Amino acid sequence: MSGTIKDDMNDTRNGDMKRHAHALEGKRVAVLMGGDSAEREISLNSGRHVLSALQASGVEAVAIDPSEEMLLSGPGLELLVSCDAAFIALHGAGGEDGTVQAILEYLKVPYTGSGVQASSMAMDKRVTKQIWRAEALPTPEFALISSDAALQGSSLDFNQAWIVKPSREGSSIGMSMARSADELAAAYHAACAYDSDVLVERFVEGEEYTVAILNDQPLPAVQLITGRTFYDYEAKYLSGQTEYLIPCGLSQEEEARLQSLCLSAYKAMGCRGWGRVDVMRDAKGQFWLLEVNTVPGMTQRSLVPMAAKAVGLEFDALVMEILSSATLGR
C-alpha cells in the first residue's frame, strides 16, 4: 500500500497542488485558529503554519481567532462569510467538538475535516469507545467517573495500571496514571479541572503508534518512543527526547493490519477529510485503539505532517490536499 500512496502523493505535490491552487484562485480561505480551549497555544501554532503554507501556495488566506472575533456577529461574521472555505485549525473544545462545524454549516461556509456529528462523537472519548465496542473494534476496558461518589464507589483492579484523562480534552492535557486508590483520587481531581466527566482506561503497556488518515487513505504508521511512562503533554510538545520512527518497525503485513484497523475505527465514527488514530500494541502483538483526533496538530513537531512527508507530501502540499476536501455535510 505504501508504494501506491507514495506515488499518489508525489502526483499531488506536482500536478494536484497546482490544480488546487488554480481552483482557489480569486477565492479567500479563513484559517480558524486559537480559540479559548486548553489547547489554544497549540492551535495558534498549527494555525500559523497552515496560514503560511496557504499563502506560500498563492491562496488568499486570513486568520480568524474565535476568542477575539465573534463568528456570528460583527466584524468576525463579516470576515467569515466573505470567505469561500474555512480551514479548521482549532483544537479542543469549541473547535474539535462540532461547535464551529455547526456555525460553518449554518453560514454555509465549506470547511475541512469531519462534520458536526462525527466531530462531537470523536471528541468524547467515552462515546468513541462505546461506538468501537459496538463495532467489535478492540479498545481497552474503561470506566467513567463523574462525581466524588462514583470515585468512592469505583472497584478498579489495581493489580494493573489505569490511565485517567478528561473525556473531552486533547493533547494529553489533564492525563495521568493511577496504580492505587490514592493515585486514582489525585488523578481524577486533576482531570476534573478540564472536564466533569473523567475516563479511566486500562493502561496498555507496550508500543505506541499513530496512523494518519488523509481522504480515506491511511498514511504510514509512526511509532512513538519516549522515556516517559506514556506519551503525555511533555513528551508531545516539550521534550526533545521523544523519537518518531518511520518506518515504524512493524513488518509490512503488521503495518497493513494496523492501517486497516485505524481506517475502520475512523470510518466507524463517520469521520471525513483527515484525522489521526492513536493505538497501543501489547506484548502479545494485539493492537488497542485509544482515540481518534479529527483536527490533529499541524506544527513542526506534529505527526500528520511527519507521516505525509514520509510518502513525499511536503507540508504546503499536505495543507492544500486537506483544503481540497473542504465541504458541508455530516
According to DSSP H, which parts of 108-194 are helical? 116-123, 125-134, 148-152, 181-191
DSSP state of 25: T
Residue 302: CB atoms within 10 A of its CB come to 21
Mark whether 115 is an active-site residue.
no
Catalytic residue among 37, 39, 94, 275: 39
Catalytic residue among 293, 302, 321, 324: 293
- Which cell is 14 given? 506536482
Instruction: Return the amino acid letter for 72.
Output: L
Mark whether 96 is an active-site residue.
no
Catalytic residue among 119, 120, 171, 324: 171
DSSP state of 111: B
Mark whether 16 is an active-site residue.
no
Pairing type for strands 274-281 and 207-214 reads: antiparallel
Mark whether 281 is an active-site residue.
no
Q: Are the beta carbons of 29 and 87 closer than 8 angstroms?
A: yes
Mark whether 278 is an active-site residue.
yes
Judged by DSSP in three states, 92 sits in: coil
Catalytic residue among 168, 202, 272, 276: 276
Catalytic residue among 47, 195, 297, 302: 297
DSSP per residue over 282-330, as a string?
Answer: -TTS-EEEEEEESS---STT-HHHHHHHHTT--HHHHHHHHHHT-B---
Catalytic residue among 201, 291, 316, 321: 291
DSSP per residue over 207-276, as a string?
Answer: EEEEEEEETTEEPPPEEEE-SSSS--HIIIII-S--EEESS-SS-HHHHHHHHHHHHHHHHHTT--SEEE
Instruction: Return the amino acid letter for 28.
Output: R
Catalytic residue among 124, 208, 255, 278: 278
Mark whether 39 is an active-site residue.
yes
Distance CA 165, CA 101 (A): 25
Mark whether 207 is an active-site residue.
no
Q: Are the beta carbons of 171 and 92 closer than 8 angstroms?
A: yes
Pairing type for strands 198-202 and 85-88 reads: unpaired
Mark whether 41 is an active-site residue.
no
Distance CA 100, CA 92 (A): 11
Catalytic residue among 16, 154, 237, 254: 237
Residues catalogued as catalytic: 39, 171, 237, 276, 278, 291, 293, 297
